[in-house]
Structure formats: C-alpha cells, structure tokens
Amino acid sequence: MKKMLKLSNGVSVQMTLSLSLSAILLLMMCGGVRAWTGEIHGRVVCDVCGDSSIGPEDHALEGAEVAVLCITKSGEVLNYQAFTNSKGIYTVAETMPESDRWDACLARPISSFHKHCVHLGDGNSGVKFGYNHPSGYSHTVRPFVYQPADVPTYCL
C-alpha cells in the first residue's frame, strides 16, 4: 500500500507499507497455538568382549539404525528413524503444537552395519518411557549394545 504524506515544509513523501496476505493470515491463525519442542537421544555401542558392560575396549557404532515410536497427547502415533553419528549418538527432535506433544515413546535398535558387531545384546530389544519434559528439554535413552559373533582372545 502506498501513501503520500505532505510535510509541513511542503515536501511530499511517498511511504510504502506492505505485508503479504499470507503473513497476515499466518499471524491470525497461529495467535493462540503454543509450540512445543521435544528431543530424544541415546547411544549405540559395540560390547567387544560381550560382557554386557561398557569398558575401554568397547567403541561407538556409527551408522546403527534406531526406531523411535511416540504417541502424542492427542493419540497420534509418530514413527521416527534415526542413525548414529561417528560418536554412536542418535537424536530425534520435533517441534509441534503443545496440545499434540509426545506422551509416551518406545526406542528400539533396528540394525548395526558394523562388520563384526551385529548381534544385539540381551535385554536390548527396546525401551519404553513416558515423555513429561517441558519444551526444549531432552530425554536420554540408555545405551543399546551390540556384540560380536566371536569374542577376541584378549577378552577371555
């Protein structure tokens, strides 16, 4: 929208005021909706000696696949797929309306692409947990452990 203003000294100034229609509609529709952000992260490691404990001989598994299923307060089921980074850490995060935030989740390991460490350790089928954190906070899942088919001789 353009408007001509005449100043007291007789000079005319043209002012341009513009707001896109979509920006105005977005502001009107989202006025009462509060955003909420949640984050879930964990680690995947190779238990080299197969002793079910994480020690100095063990290492992070890069590229391991983890699935995270969450049910929202409104009853919607959300399925996430994550892969670990070079430090063996996976992360799932999402921003949504607070009324639809996560209520409970299940994280479970899917696969390891390591050439030796491919067998899922006992008790690592998945972890269920409630998600009661405020916006901006994260939940840490206990590490998932894979073991090699053959334990190295230095572990025996």
39-60: per-residue pLDDT in tens? 999 999 999 999 888 899 999 9
> In whole angstroms, what is the distance from residue 54 CA to residue 86 CA?
17
In a domain, 80, yes or no: yes
Q: Among 26-35, 36-45, 122-131, which is the least confidently predicted range? A: 26-35
User: What's the half-sphere exposure (Cβ side, CA atoms, 13 Å) at 36?
Assistant: 18
CATH number, domain of 43, equals 2.60.40.10
pLDDT score of 72 more than 80:
yes
**DSSP helix, strand, coil percent of the chain (3-state; round to 5):** 10, 50, 40
What would the pLDDT profile of 9-27 be if each residue is shown by its tens digit?
Answer: 555 445 443 444 344 334 4
Residue range of the domain that includes 133: 35-155
Tell me what pLDDT residue 32 has. 62
pTM of the model: 0.76
Share of the chain above pLDDT 70, in %: 79
In a domain, 41, yes or no: yes
- pLDDT > 90: percent of the chain: 66
CA-based angle 114:45:95, to the nearest 5? 100
pLDDT at 28: 40
What digits encode the pLDDT tens for the residues 84-107? 999 999 999 999 999 999 999 999
Q: Is residue 56 a part of any domain in this protein?
A: yes
Report residue 155: phi and psi, to 5°: -90, -20
What pLDDT score does 30 carry? 52
Q: What is the mean pLDDT of the chain?
A: 85
pLDDT digits (tens, 9 = 90+) for 118-127: 999 887 889 9
Residue 23 in any domain: the answer is no
In this prediction, residue 13 carries a pLDDT of 46
Domain assignment present for residue 143? The answer is yes
13 within some domain: no
Residue 110 resides in a domain: yes
